[in-house]
Structure 1
Amino acid sequence: MSGHGDPIPMTARRAGPLTGVAEVPGDKSISHRSLILGALSVGETRISGLLEGQDVLDTAKAMRAFGAEVTHHGAGEWTVNGVGVGGFAEPEDVIDCGNSGTGVRLIMGAMATSPITATFTGDASLRGRPMGRITDPIALFGAQSHGRQGGRLPMTIVGAADPVPVRYTVPMPSAQVKSAVLLAGLNAPGQTVVIEKEATRDHTERMLAGFGAEITVEETDEGRVITLTGQPELTPQTIVVPRDPSSAAFPVCAALIVEGSDVLVPNIGLNPTRAGLFTTLQEMGADLTFENPREEGGEPVADLRARFSPDMKGIEVPPERAPSMIDEYPILSVVACFAAGQTIMRGVKELRVKESDRIDAMARGLEANGARIEEDEDTLIVHGMGPGGLPGGAVAQARLDHRIAMSFLCAGMAAQQPVSVDDAGPIATSFPIFEPLMETLGAQLQRTKA
C-alpha cells in the first residue's frame, strides 16, 4: 500500500474465524522518538524493530536533512549517528513530513532552540491540521514561525539564537505538544518545566531519561510537573522497539467481533498511558488475556490473546481515559456496533483535529452502513446491535486517515454485507503490512476498482 498517489479502494467482507499470530509493526511513537533522540545524541544509537511505515520513514529522512547519519540495515534494524543537542545543521530543502502530525510537531520542537531555519510541509491531510499548539509554546523559547492562515503548513520555523527556558502548562491533553516543548528545552539553558493537567503517553519522558537527560516527574496539585535540565550530552542507546498497541488494536478488535476467532498478538507495549483501549474492552466483556508479562527497554510488554466475544455490552468510557486511547476510538466505535446497548465516548474532542475529524468520519461511515450514531463536539455515542448486527453494504470515506480506513475494513469482516473504503492507501503510514497480515489470519480483503 502507498500512503500517497492514486487512491486504493478496498472492500472487506464477512470472513470465517480469524486465527493465528499477528506480528504487528513496531510502536510508532517510540520509533519517531528513537530516531529524533538518536540524532540529538553523540555517537551511534542502534534501533531494532523500528516501524518502517511512511510516517517514520519521513522522520528518518528529516533527521538526515538536519545532519544526522541514519542508516537502514534491513528488517527493522537501523543505526543513527547523532550530532548532539544543539548540533542540527540547517536543511537544504523543505522537510516533507507526509501524513505525520507526530513527526512534524516533534521535529519542530527539536529544532526550535537551534539558530537555524527550516520549512515544513506535508500531505493534504497534514497541511490542514493546526500547528498553533506547537508554534505558541516554541515562541516562548524565542523561535519564530511563519505559516499559512490558521497556523497551517507549509510553515517556516526560525530557531531561537539565544533560547530561554520556559514554564509551560499544556492547554489540552497532548503528548505531541508536551514532547515538542521538552525537545525544545533540551537546548535551552536552565530548567524547562512542562505541566499537564491530564497525563498523556509518557514515552518522551522515559526515553529522555534513558538517553541520559536529567528529568524529573512529580504529581502535584497543579498536575503532572515535568522538569528537564537543558543542554545535556545525550548518550546513544540500543533500543528494542515494542510492538505498537495502536496497530495491535485492529487485529485484536477484529477477533472480538468475528465469530470463532482466536488471535495472539505478541510483544505488545502496555505502557499504562497507552493501554486504555484494552481496559475498556475488558469492561465491555471482551475475552482478552495478557500472557508472559515482562519489561523491555523500560516499557511493560506482554503477549495479548483476543477471542470472539459475543456477550460484550456497551459502557460509558470515562472521559479521563481519553488520553490513553485517543487513537483507538475509531476502532472502539466499530466494536461498539457489535455489543449490546449504548457505548458512550465523552471527552473526545481531540479527535476533531487528528488526521481527519475522526468523530465525523466514523459517525458518517457507520451511519451509511446501518448503525445509529449520536454525536456532539466532544461526544460519540454508538447504539450497539449485537454480534453480526451491523448491516454494512456501503462505502466509507477514509479521508486520508489510516485509522479510519482500517476501522471500516475491520467492520466489514463482521458485518452482514461487505464494507468498502474509498482509499486504503494511507494505511501505509502506520501499518504497511495490514493487508497481508489480516489475510494471513483469515480476513477477506479485496482491492476494488475506483
Structure 2
Amino acid sequence: MKILVLGSGAREHAIITSLLSEEAGHDIVAAPGNAGIAQDVAVEPDLDPLDGVAVAEYAIENGVDLVVIGPEAPLVAGVADPLRTRGIPVFGPGRAAAQLEGSKAFAKRIMEAAGVPTGRAVRAETLAEAEAALDAFGAPYVVKADGLAAGKGVLVTADRAAAIEHSEHWLQRGGVLVEEFLDGQEVSLFLLSDGHDVLPLSPAQDYKRLLDGDAGPNTGGMGAYSPLPWLPETFVDEVIEKIALPTVRTLAAEQTPFIGLLYCGLIVTDRGIRVIEFNARFGDPETQVVLPRLVTPLSQLMFAAATGGLGGLPRPEFALDTAVTVVLASEGYPEAPQTGRPLTGLEEAAAVPEVTIAHAATARDESTGALLATGGRVLSVVARGTTFAEARERAYDAIGRIHLEGGQYRTDIAARVS
C-alpha cells in the first residue's frame, strides 16, 4: 500500500517502524516528519497536516491508499473529514468524534450516556465555580483543561492554592473540569475502531511525571512498558464490554462514528475499572512499547478500521517478550525546554541489541548536517527483552550512549515490574 502518515513525533516514527517491519513493500510518506523519520521513509515537510483539503488533494494526486493521522491537533481540526468525503480511507476520527479528546466535557457526556464507569466531574467556567468544585471534592485535587493541552493540562495536587492557580491559567483558555480523585494503578489500552466494532491492542503503563519516584510536574510522558503482567486475564474483555463498545456505539448512535484509535486512559480502583480520559489517537510513549510487540500486520488492522472491516478479523497477536521505552527530554522541559542543541551517540545507542530509537523533536542543521534537538521530548529509546530486567538494561545502556547537553530522563522506568 501507499500510506501517508501525518505527524512529526515519536508516535509517528513508531507507527512507521511497525509498518516497515512488515516487509510488505509499503510505499510510506510522512508529513512533515522529523530527522529520524526522514532516515527511514520519504517526507513531505511542506505538506501541512492541519490542512485537510491540502492533505486530501495530495492523497488523490499521489494515489495514497491509506492516510494515518497521528497527532490530536489535526484530528480535532477535522482533517479526516475532507479525506472521507473524497473516498480516501483514513485512520482517525472526524472532527465531531475527535471531540472525545478535544473536549473533556464532551467525553464525560458521552461516558454518562454510554453508562461508562468514570469519576465524578464538574465543568467550571469561572474561578468561583472551580473553587466551589474543589471544595466539594476535597483533596487531592484534580483539575483538567477542557481542551487540548499537549499533555500539560492535568494537575493532581494536595495544594489547594496550586489547584486554584492551575484553574486560573486554563480558564483563560476555556473551561476546566474539576474531578474526583481516583486512586489505583493506571493502564493505557488502545483499541482499534471501525465505528461499530473494536479490536484491542496490548495494555501498557506510562510514567507521566518528570522525575524518578513520580515526582515533579506532569509531562507528555517520560517512559512506558508493556505488557502488564499484574493485570487480571479478564481485564481487556471487561474494558471492551463495559467501556469501549458502549462508547463507540453511543457515538455511532449520535451519527458521529469513531473510526481510528480509541485510547482508554484507565485506573484500576478498589471499586473496579474507571476511565480517567479518552484520547482519539495512539498515545505517546505507550505506542513505542505496544507496536514493537505486535505480530499482526499493523497496516491490515488500520486499513480494516478505516474501511469498516474489523468485525471479520481475529484479535491482534503479540509477541511474548517485553518492551521498555525511556524518553530523553531537553533541559527545562516541560516548562521551558532548551532547543537547538546537538545530539550525538545515536548510532552507538542503536547498536545495542534489540534497541530502536523513535525520534520526536529532531532536525538536521542544513549547514553542518548535525542532528539537533528541537523540542521538549526529543526521542524515545525503545528496547525489547525476554524479561523486563533485560529490556531495562538494554534501554538504559543505549540512552547512556546518547549525549544532549542538559538532557534529562527518568532512571526508574519499569523498575517495579518483573
TM-score (norm 1): 0.26
Higher relative contact order structure (alpha carbons within 8 Å, sequence separation ≥ 6): 1
TM-score (norm 2): 0.27
